[in-house]
């Protein structure tokens, strides 16, 4: 799994580099390609990790974080 994450993040980095090398008029397509790859990477990673707060029993409300069982 780590190899796949490394590969996906490297592809994101490559697309970002491509974006910055292009002229301003040509960047729109490169930005869409980069954003699509970032979403693909996030969707791959998301199911494999739970937020740390979930494991610690921390409950979040609208603006505040509380501990305990409510």
Give tens-digit pLDDT for 35-50. Answer: 999 999 999 988 877 6
Whether the pTM exceeds 0.85: the reply is no
Q: What angle do CA 58, 69, 47 make, to 5 degrees?
A: 40
Domain that holds residue 11: 2-67
Average pLDDT of the chain? Answer: 80
The pLDDT score that the predictor gives to residue 47 is 83
The pLDDT score that the predictor gives to residue 26 is 86
What is the number of structural domains in the chain? 1
The more confidently predicted of residues 48 and 19 is 19
**Cβ distance 27 to 17 under 8 Å?**
no
Q: Check whether 53 has a pLDDT greater than 70.
A: no
For helices 27-45 and 2-21, give the axis angle rounded to 10 degrees: 170
Q: State CA 52 to chain mean position distance.
A: 16
**Cβ distance 16 to 34 under 8 Å?**
yes
Q: Give the Cα separation of 56 and 50 in Å (integer).
A: 11
């Amino acid at each position: 799994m780590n190899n796949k994450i490394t590969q996906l993040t490297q592809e994101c980095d490559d697309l970002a580099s491509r974006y910055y090398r292009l002229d301003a008029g040509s960047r729109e397509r490169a930005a869409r390609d980069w954003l699509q790859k970032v979403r693909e990477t996030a969707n791959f990673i998301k199911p494999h990790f739970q937020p740390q707060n979930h494991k610690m029993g921390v409950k979040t409300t609208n603006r505040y974080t509380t501990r305990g069982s409510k």
